[in-house]
Every structure is written in C-alpha cells, then in structure tokens.
Structure 1
C-alpha cells in the first residue's frame, strides 16, 4: 500500500487513482484485509478522553479568589459570633460551587455530542458482497454505499454519484445541499467545493452513491474538529478576571492593614491585645464587603432572566456580563443575518428584467403582473418542480429554490395546483453531472419538454430564445452579462428552456434534451437579510461594536449580503484560500481590516477568533454547526443557534439563541452592558459604606479615642444595608444611551478611575461626617451610646441618599424618574427605615446592639445631613464625570 490515507488531495485525483493508492477496488476489500487494516488503523471512532474525577471537579470550584474573598467575609462574621450571617455566606459559596460543577459537566459533553453524530452502521462491499458492518469497523479502502437518509459514516472519495445531494451544513454552514459528482476538482478547492468527497457526519439528502473510505476516526474532517475542540482552552471571562484580581488585591490589603493596625494599637497606643483584636475585627468587618460576591452573583442571575425574555438562554453565568464588554461580533450568515428562506429576487427574459418584491416563502402582499414571456417562464418553473409550498406557515417541503419559485408564481397570480394539473408524462431528475432537470407535459398544444438547470448548461443546449414576437436567435453574450450581473449581487441563478415534442411522445431521454431548446430566461435567488438584523447592525455600529461575517458561502454572495445588511459600503472579503496564503506575520492585520470571510473551514474560524483576541478584542462568535464548535469555545462569548444548531455547537457555547436571530444578540449585548453597569453600581455603593466605617475605626485607633461604633453595630449596618439597598441595584433598568457608548476596554478594571475616586471621596466624606456627628453629640453632653446610635443612623441615611446618586453613573439623578425611584428601591428603603426604627427604639435591640432612642430633632438633623450629602455628590458627579474617561 503506497498511500494508506490520502486525505490531503483525494478530491483532486481520479477515483481509480485513490482506489489504487489504497490497494482496493470497486468491489471492496476482503474480510481478512479489512480485519488487518482495522488492527493497523484502529476503530473508526473519536477517542474518548479520561473524565476528570467528579470530586476533583467539585473541589476545583473553590479554587479562585472570589471564593476565598467570600470565605474571608464569612470568617469575619463568625469571629463576631454572627453565625447566621456566616452561614448565609457559606451557603452562597456552596451553591456557587454546585452550579459551577454542574455547568462544567455539561461543557464536557461537547465532544460526546460530536461523537454521537457518527452513524452506528454502514453498508459496505466485502468480498464483492454488500454487507452491513458497524461504523467503528470501517477502514481506509472500504467501499461504502450511501443513499437518501443515510449519515455518511467516514470520509469518502466518491466512485459513483446519481442525483446525489448531501447536506453539509454542519461542516460548511451552507443552507443548500451540496450536489456531488465524481470528477476531480482543484487541489486548493474549499471544503464546500470538493464535490467528489462525502464527509463523515453529513446527511445524504437525496440520490445514491458509493465511495472509498479515505479517512476514519480522528483523521476525518469531523475528527479533526473534535481534536481542535479538545485542544481549545476555555477562557476566563473578563468579569471573572476582574473579580479575581480585585479580590486578591483587596483581601491582601484588608488583612495586611488589619495586622498593621493591630501592631500599632498594642505597641504605640497601649491597647490590650484583647481590645486591639476586637478593634481589628471591627475594622475587618467594616472593610471586607462580605456580601458583595453574593450580590454580584444575584445581579448576573437577574441578567440571565432578562436575557431569557429576549430569547437568549445563558448556559454559563458570567457570560451575561461578558456580552456587555463585546467589541466585535463574528456572525454566521445563513439563518442568523438572513432568513434562511430562498427568495426569487429577479426574473430576466429577452424583453427585460422584473424585480420581485417580498422576502421568504410567504407570497401574500407582493403581487405583480408579469408579461407573456415572464409568465411562461414562471409557469415552466412550477411545472418542472417537485417541491410543495404549504400555506400553513408557508413552509417548503423539498428543495428551497423550488419552493421559492412556487412563491414567486403565486405572486404573479398563477395557481400552482392548476398549472400542475397538466399531466406530467415523464421526468429526468436533477443530476449533479448533467446539472439540469427535465419534465415532459401533455399540454393542449401538444407534448412539451421543460428544462430547468444551470444557465451555462442550458445555453449550450439552446438554439434560440423566446421573444415577444416569437423565437429569436440566441444572444449568448446578452445572457452571460445578465448572469454575471446577478452573480455580482450574490444571487444563485437558474435558467429555463422548453421544446415542443412530436405528438404521441410519452417519454424522454437525455438525447431529447441535448439540443434544439428555446431559452426562456433566468431567475436570481437570494436568501434575504432579516430586516431586524439590518437595524441591529446599525445599532452595533452606534455602540462601537464591529460586526464580521464568517460564512461557508461564496465570496460574491457573502459580499452582496454584507452590503444589503449595511455591514460595510464596500466590504473587504477574504476567502479561506486567501487566508491560507497570508503569512503568519501579516495574518492579524489582514483579519483586522476584513469584514467578510467566505468559504472558511473550522481552522480558519478558529484562527480568525484568536487573531482578533490577540488585539485585545472581546469577541462574540455565533455558529450552528459542528464546524463552529472550536471557535465557539475559543471566543469570549460563544453563541449557538437554538433552532438549527447542532448539539455540539450548543454544548461548546455559553449562550443559545432560541430564535436564531442576530437582533437577539444585540439585545443581549444591551442587557450585558446593563448588568455590568449594575455591578459597578453595587461596588461603587458598597465600598464607600465599608470604607467609611473602616476609616472611622482607623481614626479612632490612630488618635486614641473611643470607637464611634462598636463591632456589633458595624455588623448591623452591613447586614441591614447589604441585604436591602445593596441588592436593589441588581434590579436597576438600563440607563438612557447604554448602547450609544463605546465598548469598555478589555483590560479595564471594575474600579475605573472615576469609581476609584468616588470610593475614596465618599469614604472620606462619610468618615468626616460620622466623626463630626459623634463629637457633636458628645459635646452636647450625650451618653456615648446615644452618640454611637446617631452615628449609625447617620451612616444609614447617607447610604440611602447615596443610593439615589449612584443609580445613574452617566447622568444626573435630579430627574423625576431618578428621584421617585423604582419599586424595589422604595421597598428596600421601607425595610431599612423599619429596621433602623427597631434598632433605635426597641428595647431588645437596644440590649443587643447597645443603641439608645433618639429625639425628633435628632432625626431631622440626620435626614438633613442625608439631603445635603446627595446635593454634594451630585455636584461632584457633574464637575468630575467628564474628567475621567471610564467608557
């Protein structure tokens, strides 16, 4: 055997040469030879990876800084004997671990989903006889027989093909089944153009054929995709990277600061170690926002629910927020940007061009009155046609292009049922080798042969053309120009011709079609853009998000659709062959300036995504086929199609679109930006609360005066605020203009310059006001318990008014909508107010927290401080918001 697995160029060599190279023949292998090859090559199956033990996967959920951060908060709460609070935090940790464990288990099913696409049995020739064998037992050199309904069991070089159409959408993304033939093609032909090949995992739509196995198992196209998928490492999302970095730095800072304060208090301030420890615990409780991770998780979960209402199902929680950082969307064309419904766009005859309105298979509302030749052409198109167009939902049974012809004929006022009533006497089915379909009909004027097929094929078989006054001399140059014009617009073209047959003709053969036809004209088909996708792309451009089209379709078709979508006025197009010729050094730059990628393979898609990520871009990738799975997994956000998507694509993605609509992606990006804004609001509100408390304690230790709040009072503030006001920010609606902002920079942290300034400014202000209230109350001769009660209430009231300020990061809060709040905001404030009344006036709470009742004027003073706080913060936001470039 000179070449045991000639997969690289088997499409470019004659079938006989491949059989010889594989030491096989058209009658197949012998059973003994097949057994020997099976031992040498191994089974025709994708390798199973040893699963990671479940216990290790579960324990791995605890190995990140976010969890350590939450455990630090639980420890701080436990040190104060607040075991309920500590228990709640631990419950959140465990729930997060369980959810992560289950999601990771689903992710590992991606490879299994691909394995399930290989058929269990195959019909082969062994010892010259047709036998059924397990697919795993196929070997290179086996001759496999395939027919309509079969799933191709291995990569095959076709030996014979009769009317053979194979749906290769899982590999190429093309919505139209690929016609197969046995003649070799160019060695550098794209995957979708390799007509003499049948690929493992694809589905035979019609016809019959046979082929010799050229690759099995991991060497097949689908096997190579499985190998790529296994090699792609799942990326950490921007949010998790930011939270982990923030948690590590903040936790280190908090505990280092607490240790320094402890040493300072004992050595320089003369504190006993017990008192110093209690002060440091108060500092730690005040500084560490133990409820923050839980609130962030809840914020993401609310985003999941909102996205579900927009037809986007989130499979991995952090992907909600990652969408908000998306700066580039790589989208499939068919079905996502387009309707995936072929439509007749133009009808061309010798007398002129008729443009047909409407999109999709629904013919209602777009009628037109064709001239005589156009009407004859459409009549021929529905008679020489095997599809059915069902009015219940306007669904096509059969070839999509034939269904589109029926819709066009109905728009022209024709009745397909009546026209087909003219008895069909005989037919020559479409064949990839001959590239036409022919039917014989008994019409009142006599038997008529109708032909539909490739324009260049029908032109060679026609002697004249139909004209308004009768047959004319065929103008081949005219038709070539019209065909080229339609192709430049990205249209697929079919031609039509007829021939009057002698009376008494009841059957036809290939000789009847080879000459003497009268050319009727051509039709141009297009899969029209979704109107909502056009609007969504325009919204992406306004939001600073670039859109790239990556498709298996032809370059001309893809470029035409890109222009119609508004993707670019003059889109730059690269094909898979172009990408292969670009050296690695220039690949990233070439990808960056290209809007459309056509005739791409899985390797191309993966390289494109990685090239964009190497520029610091946050990439969202859509896909539906097995060929998309590696790039979906590699992308920052993988988005699979819920309707036409394969299970492999869905398992590799983080998000599944239930309507396969690009507009749903943009809606999800909108929601993702809102989620990120709300997370920033939660952080920007929480940290100053803790910072003000912590600075107050630090000042007391540094200046050696009594603590303005006891540790248990600090815990009360954290508990009453984090579970109410901190949580309602997760429910905030989108701010106006959320999609008018550019995507945030990929490396931008959660604490942007403005937010960092805001945390420091508000923390210092809260500390200064708290100390001022504390010393004012003591100066009035009040007991220290009363002064501390005033400090606690002042902090809580300032936090309430600060909440109204931070609800809007990009505009003033002094609007009617801003001041009246939302339902959750008002409900949370009511709970906080009730809690503070209980803290201040209930004897049992006075006993637990050391608080004391306050007078009416005390309450007026505290509320006035809150109002002034809001005014100061609004002025500060107005003056400084433009100084910082946070977006």
Structure 2
C-alpha cells in the first residue's frame, strides 16, 4: 500500500488533477475510508507526525568545542605543565580550556532544534469522515485517502486536496511569504504551479481564516510540505564563519612554528653548547609554554561574549557566538519581503475616484493619518466622491483594529483591515447605520456586499471586491455632477497603473436597495454605480529604506527573495532602494526551476529580486552566491525560510512575527523585527572583528617576546631570564587585564564607509604581522637587556628575574596603546580617551604586579623578589622605549605593506 501511494504521488500531482482523479489515485472516495482501511494504512505509512530530530548527546556537543587547533595547543601546554610537575599551573591552563568550551556550549543555539520546533505547528486533532460518519480524531491517525473538513480558525492537519470549498481563505505566510490570506477553490492548476499558486491545496500547519472546506488527505508526516522543509533543514551543510577558519589557520601556523623553533633550539643547545639532555628538555618545555598563546581562545570567546551583550542591547539576540563576527563580514544580505522589509500590515495608499486621485499617509493598522488631495487634507463634506467611497470602506468589512498596549492589531482579513483604517483616517463612518443583509466574499465571485440602512432611512447595497468583477456589474460611475456612463477603458487603465506600482487594487460600488430587499438579500445585481478604487500595499518599513542605503554605502549588496508576485516584488524593491528606476530583472521560481545550478551561478550576482520562490530555491540562491565567495546573511520569518537560514553564513530571524522553526534555525534573532537592526548589527560585528584583530595583535607579542628571550638565552648559553612559572604569570595577568581592554574599543568613525573585508583575508594582515614581529623583538630585547643589566649591577637571580618580569608586563602596557589604533598613529591625545577599560585594565595590572613583587607567598610560588625604585625606573624606561619603537615600526610597516 505504501509503495502504491508513493508511486501515485510521483506520477500524479494532486493540485494538477481533478478531484475524482485524485481520489482514484489514492484509492479513496468522497465517503472517505473505513476504519479497517485507515488502520491498515496507518500501519504501513506510519503516524501523521514529523520524525524527531536526531540530537547529539550533550557530552559530545560539549567535547566538540575542544575540536580546534588552538585548543589543542592549549591542552598541549597543560600536558607540558603536568610533565614538569607544576600541577597548579596545569589546573589553571586546563581551566581556561574548559571555561572556553563551556561558554561556547551555553551560548550556541543548535539548528537541529529547528526540526523539533516544526512539530509544534502541526494540528492536534482533525475532523475526519470514517465509515460514513464524521468523527474528531487525533491528527496523528490521519492517513492518505482520509476525507477531512476544516473551517475558520482550524489548523490544517495534513496536506489536503480540496473537494469542496466555500468562501475558503487560508493564511499561508509561514510557507509562501504571501502577506494576505490565500483564496482557495476546487479547480486544478498547472503542473508547474508553485506552492503559493496551488489554490486547490491546503498544507499542514497553515491556518484557515475564513470559510470552510472539504478535502482528501494526500500526504502525511514527513511527506507533507512542512516535512519536506524539515528534511531540507536537516540536510543543510553548516558553514564555518570567516573568523573560525582564520583562527584555525593561525593555530596551525603557530603550532608548526613552535615545533620548528623548539627543534632548532634543541639541536643548537646540544651541538654548540653541549647542554645536558635534561636541561635542554626543560628549556624546550619552557619555550613551548612561552610560545603557546593559551589566552587566545579565551580572549576571542570573551570578546565575542561581550559583543553578544552589546548586540542584545541593540535588539539583536545572538544564538551562536561566532555569528557575531560573521555578521561583520557579510557581503550580501538576502532578505525576505513580507514582515522583514515590509510591516506585514496592509495599508491603503491611493484612492482614485472619477474626480480625483487622493493620497493616504500613515502606515500599518494605526488609524493615525489623513487622506490628502494635492498635499492637503480632503474633508468629506467637500469631496462627495471620496465620502461615497469611504462609506463602502466603513460598512462592508467585518474587520476591526484594536489598540493593544502601544501597538494596533487587526482582527479580520488584512485587506478589509486596510479599508477600515482608510475610513477612520478619512473621518468617515456611519455610526447610526444598520446592516440588514450581507453577501460574504467567495473566491468564485471575488466580492462581498452589505445591505445597509443609513441613519436618514436610506437603504443601499454597498459592494467591495476585485475591480474586474465589479466593473462587469456596473453600468454607471459616480462623478461630481451625478451618475454618468461607465468609462470602462479608463478604469482598466487605472487598475493596470496601480498594479504596476505593486499595489493590490480593490474596487467599490453601490446601488439603491429595492423596497422588497431585506434579510433575504443574496444578489448584488448588475446595475451598480462604480465609485472608485483603492490601492493597497504592505508598506515598507521606513527605517529599512535608510538601512538599505547604509548597507549599499558599506559595500553590502541587498537582494529580495520573496514568495510574492514579481510585479509586487519589483515595485517594493524600487521603493526600498534595492533597485533603481530603470529596467529591473527579476527571476521567478518557475525560471529558477528550469535553470541548472551553474546557470543560476552565472546570473545570481546580477539579479536583485527573486519572486515566487520555494525553500529549495532560496537554498540554491544562497549557495550560488557563496560560490562567488560572498558571505551571505539570510533573513526571514516563515517556516519556508528555515532551510536557507541554516545554509547561510549568518541566518537572521524575526523575533516578533517569526515562527519558532525560523528562530531555532537562525544564528541571530531580531527582537524588534527591524531590518535596520541588521545594519546596526553589521556595524557591531565589524567593531568586534576589529577588536579581535587588535587583541590578537596585542597578545601574540607577549608569547613572541617570552619565547624569544628563552631562545636567545639558550642559543647564547645564558641562564634563563624567565622561569616557566613566571612566564605563565605574565601570560595570565596580561590576558585577564590588558587583553580584555581592547574588547571595549569603540567603532572607528569610518567603519561603515569601508567595503566588507575579503572572506579569505587573514585575521593577521601583513602590516599587523610586521608589527607583531617588531613588538616581539622590542619587548623581548627590553626584557633581556633589563635582566642582563640587573645582573651586571649585582642583583641576584630573583631580583633580576622580577625586574625582567616587570619590564615584560610594563612593555605590554606600553604596546597596548599602540594597538588601539592599528590603522593610524597612537601618538595623539585620543589614545588616552574613548575607552575607560584601558585605564581599569592598566590599574589592575599594576596592582597584580605589585602583589607579584612584594607579597611573600608570591615569592614562594613564583620565585620573585622585592625590587627597588631603581628597578622600577629601568622597567618604566624600557616600557616607554617599547611604545616609541613599536609606533615607529607600525608607521614604517603601513607605508611599505599597505
């Protein structure tokens, strides 16, 4: 039975076949299945639920955070400490690695949670025809061939081919991106129809907003449209961010460098200076401990975590640490239209009557705004043509808007809500009117009507609906001088013009009611008076228009990917500033379906509008852009966006109107559903990356200088100026004080005026590498010189080493100010202001170094000794020299290498 149903589904498309053919293919009938048939099918096809998402055990997910070359180096340093017998140091280094993994484990959201969240969209029960009787059953027991019925407010329990439909409208925005409910009918559609055009199908998890329907279940569980999206999310390959790739590359380079230098030191120490083997091994371990940047993983994690907090304050909630930096490297934003670039609140924008064209200001469902003629309010007592149209807008709709807190919400259909708000803005309304009858909207007629008794006793029929259907029923039109013959050609041109602007057009008409019309009112007639049309749009977010302009100035492309029609999408894209006023090329889902991936790859960079797209299309578009080296951010709010959000370098979900599945698949959730927040988050991401780069450039010379001191001492046959435990001390105090100060650096003024960095750009640029080498040599030379000077002045090893450690710490402090401005000189008063963390970190370092120097227990642990004013003076002078020389090196390297 299973194979029969599957084969039938592959050879026939339910939406392209008539109902009888679908019933035959499913071996069912209009009377549904018997209990025995349904039980047999249930045993073969399984329950109507989505398979549970496979989840890795928590332990494995935690251990995955150790799978990094830099962490391997960190663990190797801990092992070396254990070999030395320094168990306290071993515990400290291991704790750094564990804390790093814990922060990542706690912060990161998992896309596999998106799979389980999809199940919450499924209906819990279904009204099914079994054995000739209607029954309410658990929706998990539905099988293909079952006949079910739905009504307004129901959640569709499975994928269903309609057999009957009465005024049926379904909210499918989560699947299709359509901003208004879709009208449904029984008629078959073409075999190439996309999900949004399959008017004879209902899809699992969507909501019936009006009417009722009867249909046969075609697919259940994993074979539904939602199930297919689930499989797409599960099969998406998750990509590393540029920072992750760069740090992995840096870790490998450092590991090879450390191994090479340690081997060279062993050979020279043994062959030239004839050191004992145990001394050489001890020196090599000290060199490795000095060279390993054990603070780097923690530093990057903490910098990203601070960035997460800062982005949260800017309404961007980060679910994955590395996505903070990834957002800063974005080169292209692929944005859904409905609810992301637009408000998902239908708004009347233009009113056209015979006598004039009126503009409507205000957006959304807030009734604040006016109807304007030539930029001035148009009072209804002066403009009778407008008053007649507004009367229809006030009386026909069943929708209304309510103020909930500070936000206006709609109860009813979006287009009807737009007309109600239009009437309120115009100041219209007939509080004394009484509805005597109504003709509800039907997809077959595409209009609705009411029979109203007005306060003066006049009784009229008011009609609102599709322009072509109303024009077919009108014989006259309202003018300033009264009724005149209908000018059909003129109104067809107006409708085409408004449609070309991406507006959804509603027409209005009326006629006097016959004396005998009353509660039995069922027909609007064919002698209507045409009043005019209203152009309705899902308005762009005003702040998003500015944000798109800012993105373009920052070298970031913006592409619209929507389930809406191409004409509407292009009109909105023009209004948003995504495309210009000339000819705009748009690709539709049908065209994408006919393209190979290579053909799409060749065209994707030149197309900014993609319309009538499916989830697979969105993934293909993202992949095509990534094949050009683009770092892609994908925004969305519907279930249909979840697979593409998972595939993108950075997935961004809407927090208010987004589905749970979308939020779980995303890396970042916008708490305010505001596209402008993306632009601010990109700026924050760039700032964070800049600060990580500054921190890396600052931290590496600490290890470089330490390893250089030991290497030179071994090669020259000298006593070690620093012991391994003293090296660990400097690494720890600089990592927890000075290194963290750079995480608070403010964004540079030109940060959003420069293009995105190249995806393959190394975190350490050539000029930064030159600065690291200069700083390592300068700090190392100052430390070694201080040690030798102290020994020459008669100091013992403890005092000389303590002065060397102090020089190393103060040298790092001087170098910190150099790293504040990598692209410009730090010899400026600005280096002293703008980041209070600099002074907090400097003060903390000095306090810790005083404890290291004068606390007796530190003398026991770290072999330090008290030093005098002379020694402090030598260390401070060396630190000033480090600042001056590294500034000189920075200037020279920038001129030569950039």
TM-score, length-normalised on structure 2?
Answer: 0.93
Offset at 1:44?
A: 2.6
1:478 maps to 490
Aligned residues: 881
Offset at 1:31?
A: 2.7
2:577 maps to 566
Offset at 1:812?
A: 2.9
Q: Which moved more, 1:644-653 or 1:9-18?
A: 9-18
User: Aligned in 2, Cα 1:217/1:845: closer, same or farther, shift over 3 Å?
Assistant: closer
Offset at 1:705?
A: 2.3
Q: Which runs of 5+ in 1 are unaligned?
A: none
Q: Residues 549-698 of structure 1: matches in 2 within 5 Å? A: 549-570=560-581, 571-698=584-711
SS state at 2:321 partner: coil
Q: Is the CA contact (8 Å cut-off) linking 2:100 and 2:297 kept in structure 1?
A: no
Q: Is the CA contact (8 Å cut-off) linking 1:446 and 1:503 kept in structure 2?
A: no
Equivalent of 1:711 in 702, 705, 724: 724
1:369 maps to 378
Q: Residues 667-816 of structure 1: matches in 2 within 5 Å? A: 667-780=680-793, 782-783=795-796, 785-816=798-829
Equivalent of 2:402 in 358, 368, 390: 390
Equivalent of 2:545 in 513, 520, 534: 534
Offset at 1:857?
A: 4.7
1:825 maps to 838
- Are 2:523 and 1:501 equivalent residues in the alignment? no
Offset at 1:854?
A: 4.5
- CA distance in structure 1 between the aligned counterparts of 2:332 and 2:312, rounded to whole angstroms: 22
- CA distance in structure 2 between the aligned counterparts of 1:831 and 1:100, rounded to whole angstroms: 27
- CA distance in structure 2 between the aligned counterparts of 1:819 and 1:79, rounded to whole angstroms: 44
Residues 327-355 of structure 1: CA distance to partner in whole angstroms, max 9, x if unpaired?
Answer: 11111112221122221110001112111
Residues 725-775 of structure 1: CA distance to partner in whole angstroms, max 9, x if unpaired?
Answer: 112222222222222221111122222222222211211222333333344
- Are 2:193 and 1:180 equivalent residues in the alignment? no
2:374 maps to none
Offset at 1:241?
A: 2.2
Q: Which moved more, 1:370-379 or 1:238-247?
A: 238-247
Residues 374-413 of structure 1: CA distance to partner in whole angstroms, max 9, x if unpaired?
Answer: 1210111111111112245332221222222222222222
- Are 2:501 and 1:489 equivalent residues in the alignment? yes
Offset at 1:13?
A: 2.4
SS state at 1:493 partner: strand
- CA distance in structure 2 between the aligned counterparts of 1:869 and 1:323, rounded to whole angstroms: 35
Q: Which moved more, 1:590-599 or 1:35-44?
A: 35-44
Q: Is the CA contact (8 Å cut-off) linking 1:387 and 1:397 kept in structure 2?
A: yes
2:414 maps to 400
Offset at 1:832?
A: 1.7
- CA distance in structure 1 between the aligned counterparts of 2:127 and 2:725, rounded to whole angstroms: 77
Offset at 1:206?
A: 1.6
Equivalent of 1:72 in 64, 71, 76: 76
Equivalent of 1:249 in 250, 253, 268: 253
User: Aligned in 2, Cα 1:802/1:103: closer, same or farther, shift over 3 Å?
Assistant: closer
User: Aligned in 2, Cα 1:791/1:348: closer, same or farther, shift over 3 Å?
Assistant: same
User: Aligned in 2, Cα 1:692/1:52: closer, same or farther, shift over 3 Å?
Assistant: closer
1:116 maps to 120
Q: Residues 464-475 of structure 1: matches in 2 within 5 Å? A: 464-475=476-487
Q: Is the CA contact (8 Å cut-off) linking 2:327 and 2:685 kept in structure 1?
A: yes
- CA distance in structure 1 between the aligned counterparts of 2:289 and 2:210, rounded to whole angstroms: 70
Equivalent of 1:161 in 159, 165, 176: 165
TM-score, length-normalised on structure 1?
Answer: 0.95
Offset at 1:834?
A: 2.5
Offset at 1:30?
A: 2.6
SS state at 2:823 partner: coil
Q: Is the CA contact (8 Å cut-off) linking 1:447 and 1:505 kept in structure 2?
A: no
- CA distance in structure 1 between the aligned counterparts of 2:653 and 2:622, rounded to whole angstroms: 15
Q: Residues 210-609 of structure 1: matches in 2 within 5 Å? A: 210-366=214-370, 368-370=377-379, 371-391=383-403, 393-414=407-428, 416=429, 419-443=430-454, 444=456, 446-507=458-519, 509-510=521-522, 512-570=523-581, 571-609=584-622
Residues 836-863 of structure 1: CA distance to partner in whole angstroms, max 9, x if unpaired?
Answer: 3344455554565444554545534433
User: Aligned in 2, Cα 1:574/1:302: closer, same or farther, shift over 3 Å?
Assistant: same
Offset at 1:779?
A: 4.5
User: Aligned in 2, Cα 1:43/1:389: closer, same or farther, shift over 3 Å?
Assistant: closer
Q: Is the CA contact (8 Å cut-off) linking 1:804 and 1:821 kept in structure 2?
A: no
Q: Is the CA contact (8 Å cut-off) linking 1:122 and 1:134 kept in structure 2?
A: yes
SS state at 1:737 partner: coil
Q: Which moved more, 1:663-672 or 1:731-740?
A: 731-740
- CA distance in structure 2 between the aligned counterparts of 1:820 and 1:52, rounded to whole angstroms: 48
